[in-house]
Amino acid sequence: MSVDPLVPLGPDARATVQGLDVPAAWVRESRDGGVSGVIGRVGVRNGVRRGTVLGRAHPGAAWLEWR
């Protein structure tokens, strides 16, 4: 589990560092100058990688929003 920025940084961001897709609205808000990290969980079981976006958070922990 981690809180990571959208990548690539800047207006071309589409996914998390973990490679998880995020809601389009979050991408738009990021492009408009919003600062947030995506809370994600990634696990591997029996050789299968699975990931889930759980929410987002301010990088300095000022707020947390569950999905």
**Beta-bridge partner residues of 51:** 42
Structure tokens at 5: 């920025």
Q: What is the pTM of this model?
A: 0.74
Alpha helices in 1-67 (DSSP H): 24-31
- pLDDT band of residue 51 (cuts 50, 70, 90) is very high
Tell me which residue range forms the domain holding 19.
2-66
The string of pLDDT tens digits covering residues 13-44 is: 777 888 888 888 888 887 776 667 888 899 99
Looking at the 3D structure of the chain, how many domains does it have? 1
Per-position DSSP letters for 11-55, written without gaps between them = TT--EETT--B--HHHHHHHHTT---EEEEEEEEETTEEEEEEEE
